Amino acid sequence: MRGRTPRRTARAGGLRLTVGGRCTAYAVAAAGLVTLALGNPWLGAVAAAAAAVLLTGLLLRPRLDGLVVEVDGPLRTVAGATVEHLVTVRATAGHRARGTGAARLVLRTSGLADAEVAVPALAPGACAAVAVARLAVHRAATRLGTVHVLATDPFGVVAREALHPVAHRVVVHPSAPDGPRAPLPTGETRAAASRPAGHPDGIRPWRSGDRPADVHWRSTARRGVPVAREREPACLPRLAVVLDGPLGTPAGAHPDAAHGEVLLGRLGQELAGQARTGREVAVLANMPGGAVVTAGLDRAPAGATELLDWLAALGPATSADEELLARARRWAGPGGTVLLASCAEVGVLPQPVPA
């Protein structure tokens, strides 16, 4: 799935002298003072030439007003993958439009590596497009990015820059670690043993194609017409996962943050697989300030994409308390499984919470 961002027009920012421009200004001042002191005409000519370059740069100062930036690319990706974004830059047209000068754009989006784009000078109504590859560096979910625009005059003495927000929705799912891994204790084996597939849940009228083994003889004898057993597919019990802090903490902010990111990747892969089988899955976490965030708890069963999106947007969670565990148990119901996911120790997998 690809998401196209709304247009964003860059407004003209303030002018400033570049390093070269400041050096030119200092050279003009120094050469002028020496010329006045010594009366050397050659130094005066150097000062005049440097001043001409500086004034020309000011007259040809870059224009950024009317610069429209659009970004088109995949809406979702996974940490560690490379995505391609199409960056389109155009100069607005109109009777007062003057076009734009050459500029350098730096796209910044949470979860993705910065991308730098060189834009040539554009006449009114003209556009330029370039595809850039960006690495998804960590999980994130954002609707807003920024564009840093920098342009200089032809001599490089005057610069104009601006920083503007750009609507850019990106969801970076957590990545699962490579290599062999032990299965999470999701309770599938116990569920299969407690209720075999094809458990008879009711009766219905006989239909052409039913097997003789499907006949419910007692009801058939009582009604005098053929009646068959209605066999429903086995239903897996609910699975609730409670996240314990400091899961969701950015890497570097806590000693266990890196282990937590690995665990979130494992959870994302496992829970998405459970949801694809039709199993009802919920995730719960306490957040700073006493808020509780959940996925798949109060609405229709969460799909695999919804669970991965939720984990991508997860912020720093706090410790799970007994109230949160009790809420998970109530939702899971009889026969359900409740897991407590914690990254307090290296390699610790989510463990079932006793009822």
Domain CATH number, residue 97: 2.60.40.10
Task: Note the pLDDT tens digit of each residue in 276-298.
Answer: 888 899 999 998 888 888 888 87
Residues 31 and 93 in one domain: no
Residues 79 and 219 in one domain: no
DSSP 3-state of 109 = coil
Instruction: Check: CB of residue 280 under 8 Å from CB of residue 294.
Output: no
The predicted structure's pLDDT at residue 351: 61
Alpha carbon distance 150, 170 (integer Å): 24
Pick 81 or 354 by higher pLDDT.
81
Alpha carbon distance 266, 280 (integer Å): 18
| Domain-located, residue 185 | no
The predicted structure's pLDDT at residue 20: 77
Instruction: Check: CB of residue 135 under 8 Å from CB of residue 142.
Output: no
Say whether pLDDT at 242 is over 50: yes
Residues 207 and 167 in one domain: no
As a whole number, the mean pLDDT across the chain is: 79
Say whether pLDDT at 57 is over 60: yes
| Domain-located, residue 41 | yes
Task: Note the pLDDT tens digit of each residue in 299-334.
Answer: 767 889 999 999 999 988 888 899 999 999 999 888
Residues 273 and 347 in one domain: yes
pTM for the model: 0.71
Residues 254 and 203 in one domain: no
Say whether pLDDT at 355 is over 50: yes
Beta strand pairing call for 67-74 and 2-4:
antiparallel
Distance in Å from the first CA to the final CA of the chain: 41
Band of residue 144 on the pLDDT scale cut at 50, 70, 90: confident
| Domain-located, residue 311 | yes
Band of residue 74 on the pLDDT scale cut at 50, 70, 90: very high
Closest by Cα among 330, 353, 331, 334 to 342: 353
| Domain-located, residue 193 | no
Residue 97 backbone dihedrals phi, psi, to 5 degrees: -70, 140
Residues 7 and 134 in one domain: yes
The predicted structure's pLDDT at residue 194: 42
Least confident range from 7-11, 140-144, 160-164, 233-237: namely 7-11
The predicted structure's pLDDT at residue 228: 85
Using alpha carbons, list the distances in angstroms from residue 13 to 122, 162, 202.
Answer: 18, 5, 73
Residues 40 and 126 in one domain: no
| Domain range for 211 | 198-231
Say whether pLDDT at 156 is over 50: yes
| Domain-located, residue 84 | yes
Instruction: Check: CB of residue 227 under 8 Å from CB of residue 203.
Output: yes
Residues 6 and 122 in one domain: yes
DSSP structure class, residue 100: B
Q: How many independent structural domains does the chain possess? A: 4
Task: Note the pLDDT tens digit of each residue in 108-129.
Answer: 999 999 999 888 888 888 888 9
| Domain-located, residue 146 | yes
Residues 151 and 298 in one domain: no
